[in-house]
Structure 1
Amino acid sequence: CMGVGMTGPPHLGTVGQVLTGVELQAAGLDVQFVIADLEPYHGGADLERVRRLAERYREFALDVGFDPKRGVLRTQEAAREVMHTAELLAPYYAPERWDDDDEEDSDGDDGEETAWSRAVRELYEDAADGSDSDGPTSEAASTHSALLHGADFLHPLYAQGYEQVVVTLGVDEHGLTPWSRRFRDAAPVEGAIAGLHTRMVSGFGNTPKMSKSVGAGVSLDTKPEVIRDRFASAGDGGDPSASPTFQAMCLASRYESGELDRLERLCAEGGGAWVDARRAYADYVVELAERWQSTK
């Protein structure tokens, strides 16, 4: 079970989620990919804008290779059977009463803030300037949104006969795995829940996270020349673990492992071959951007 939020056009982290779903399908796994359209609506976004954006996400996922015959590609609004599961599990949704485990608190986060998580929090706080989600919202909408997220994860166990669900999200959302287990334990749901989390990619400009919200990432609504300039000016050869470009190659590409090994060596060497590799990857991202923009 995996999915994407819809705060706007996809960025490379979003692309990584979609391509991971494609690869998991190729490996023979049943993949449920959720386009979380009701989350921004519950937060005050315009419903018609949300619906159109969700349709664009669906078109893009299909275009880059997600096979709806071998998995489920859905929005939250369209999945009425999952809403039904949410209503049936609602009496058990009481996070304030769920037992904590020894390692993580009731929200599923580590008890002590790390230097990285603090840097990310401060970065978003500095960048906060309001949003286009200025429509009506309420505490009930927030609670229902959280309940529906839980149903997204538990529905395969509760109503579809699966024995195990693997929650596949970015590592910054790792808390949703133990949170889902606590919800399962409180409700009449049986089955195993595991987590598979992608690493966070450092952002351009020495920022701790690649994010379009703070101008440190690459959004697919960006013009081709801007995308190419961003990678050309990165100057990030030398340390692959600190290179936003190489980390993006690992997360959001169709490179095989052998090719990634080669690119890692080129990044470490930092010569002309790495410049060429960055240029080739920028061209690939431009192609993705053109595919996204064609969904308008």
Structure 2
Amino acid sequence: MKFDTAYYDSVIDQHRYERLGLGAIDFGLAGMSPDDLRTKWMCHTGAGNFAEAVAMGEPATVTTGVGLGGPPHAGTLFQLLRAVKLQQCGLNVQIVLGDLDSYNARRTPLDSVRQLADRYEEFVLRLGFDADCGVLRRQEGETDVMATAFLLSRHLDDADFQWAEEDLAGLYRNHGVFDHLNYGMKQATLLMAADFVHLLLQGHHVLVSLGVDEHKYVALARRGAERWGLPSEHLSGIYTKMIPGLGGLPKMSKSIPGSGIDASLPGEDIRALLGADADTAPSEDGSALLQMYACLPEVDGPAYDRAAAARRARSPEWLAIREQLVERILSLFSHWPK
């Protein structure tokens, strides 16, 4: 599988999502224009309704989460930075650390999960997230959300979980991450859906920010909420492009060694890996460097367009952007507790 333009078009057409920044969307969000939004996300479902709710002052929360399979890689870093960006724009934001997700789906020992959660919590705060203005939490100990998961489970069955497997499941099987959708993985997916639906139960409009390979998780939660009789139209999703992996892999992933860069690597290794990237992909979507640049909080629509044009021209400006990007990533990864 390749996360390229053809894949994105297929996802949008199949699931009737709307493309951000290409004229199909006519709303901004928290002061970000459609051009700005397209630098961070590529499609959505129902996000226009969420933006209207925000504009009308109705209770509204953006929620995202990260798995705890190891030190953060570039994709995890930028998912967290998107959340920080939205909070700084004035939105109410929740970040969930998927400790029980890792415990159930990855069979990670609980002590190891808790230690990782401690480090992730400190990392998120060092990246600029304000826990006094938003929610930074783990799954363990949130018994009210667990109760929501139990209630939600009545409205979902095995066929729903099979349908909702993320688009990279085949790749993970090929690399030995898992061999089938087992009970623990279903439990992890159920709890993730409950993380979204619990906010819905509290009367919030909810916007879930995830990678586009995980778009079915939001659809699963909406399916369960609708069957439950909850206002599923108040649950929306906004989805990011994938950062292409190294060595021809479609995505940088904590689960696939050698696919990317992460906070555990020495700075010299990160410089060498990114410096060696020939960046020959014909499309903008296929350029790991350009997609990482797009994810930086300070990069808006016009800045991305300038960088994309410089990359096409192979100009000295693009070489300078590449060097600045590497140093920026090193600075961000330096916040990871050693």
Give TM-score scaled by structure 1 length.
0.82
For residues 181 and 126 of structure 1, the distance between their equivalents in structure 2, rounded to whole angstroms, comes to 30
Shift of 1:109: 6.8
**Superposition map of 1:1-296 within 5 A:** 1-43=63-105, 44-96=107-159, 107-108=163-164, 123-128=171-176, 139=183, 141-158=184-201, 160-162=202-204, 164-191=205-232, 192-212=234-254, 213-236=256-279, 239-292=283-336, 295-296=337-338
Task: Give distance in 1, aligned partners of 2:292 and 2:129.
Answer: 20
8 Å CA contact 1:201–1:247 kept in 2: the answer is: yes
Where 1:32 maps in the other structure, the secondary structure is strand
Which ranges in structure 1 are unaligned for 5 or more consecutive residues? 99-104, 111-116, 131-137
Change (3 A) 1:81 1:220: same
Task: Tell me if the contact between 2:311 and 2:318 (Cα under 8 Å) persists in the aligned partners.
Answer: yes
Tell me how far apart the structure 1 counterparts of residues 118 and 219 of structure 2 sit (CA, whole Å).
Answer: 31
1:113 aligned partner: none
Residue-by-residue CA offset, 1:149-196 (whole Å, 9 max, x unaligned):
2211100111x221x211210000011121111110222433421110
Report SS of the residue matched to 1:29.
coil
Higher-RCO chain (CA-CA 8 Å, sequence separation at least 6)? 2
Deviates more, 1:248-257 or 1:6-15: 248-257
Question: What CA deviation, in whole Å up to 9, does each residue of 1:67-109 have, x standing for no partner?
Answer: 112211111013222123223334334353x6xxxxxx97247
Give the direction of change, closer, same or farther, for the CA distance of 1:205–1:87 in structure 2 (3 Å limit): closer
Find the aligned partners of 1:127 and 1:90 in 2 and give their Cα distance: 30
What letter matches 1:36 in structure 2? G
CA distance in 1, matches of 2:284, 2:309: 8
Paired amino acid for 1:2: T
1:198 maps to amino acid: T
Could you tell me how far apart the structure 2 residues matched to 1:147 and 1:267 are?
42
The one-letter code sitting in structure 1 at the alignment partner of 2:188 is: S
Mean CA deviation greater in 267-276 or 220-229:
267-276
Letter of the 2:261 counterpart: V
Deviation at 1:121, TM superposition (A): 5.8
Residue matched to 2:45: none
Matched residues in 2 for 1:246 and 1:108: separation?
30
Q: CA RMSD in A?
A: 2.5
Compute the displacement of 1:51 (Å).
Answer: 0.4
The whole-number CA distance in structure 2 between the counterparts of 1:285 and 1:78 is 33
Deviations 1:26-70 (A, max 9, x none): 222221111111011113211111001011111111111111122
- Say which SS state the counterpart of residue 161 (structure 1) adopts: coil
Distance 2:287 2:188 in 1: 36
Distance 1:168 1:122 in 2: 23
* Structure 2 CA distance for aligned equivalents of residues 145 and 126 of structure 1: 21
Distance 1:243 1:63, change over 3 A: same
TM-score (norm 2): 0.72
**Residues 179 and 239 of structure 1: CA distance in aligned 2, closer, same or farther (over 3 Å):** closer
Distance change (3 Å), C-alpha of 1:124 and 1:161 = closer
Structure 1 contact 5–35 (Cα < 8 Å) conserved: yes
Distance 2:83 2:245 in 1: 23
Instruction: Give deviations 1:7-40, integer Å, cap 9, x for gaps.
Output: 1111111111101111111222221111111011
